[in-house]
Amino acid sequence: MNWDQIEGKWKEFKGQIHEKWGKLTDSDLDTIKGKRERLAGMVQKRYGIAKEDAEKQIHEFEKDFDTRH
% of the chain at pLDDT higher than 90: 68
3-state helix, strand, coil in the chain (%, to 5): 80, 0, 20
How far is it, in rounded angstroms, from Cα 53 to Cα 69? 24
The string of pLDDT tens digits covering residues 1-51 is 678 888 888 988 899 999 999 999 999 999 999 999 999 999 999 999 999
Look at residue 37 in the predicted model and tell me its pLDDT.
96
- Map out the domains of the chain as residue ranges: 25-69
61 pLDDT more than 60: yes
57 pLDDT more than 70: yes
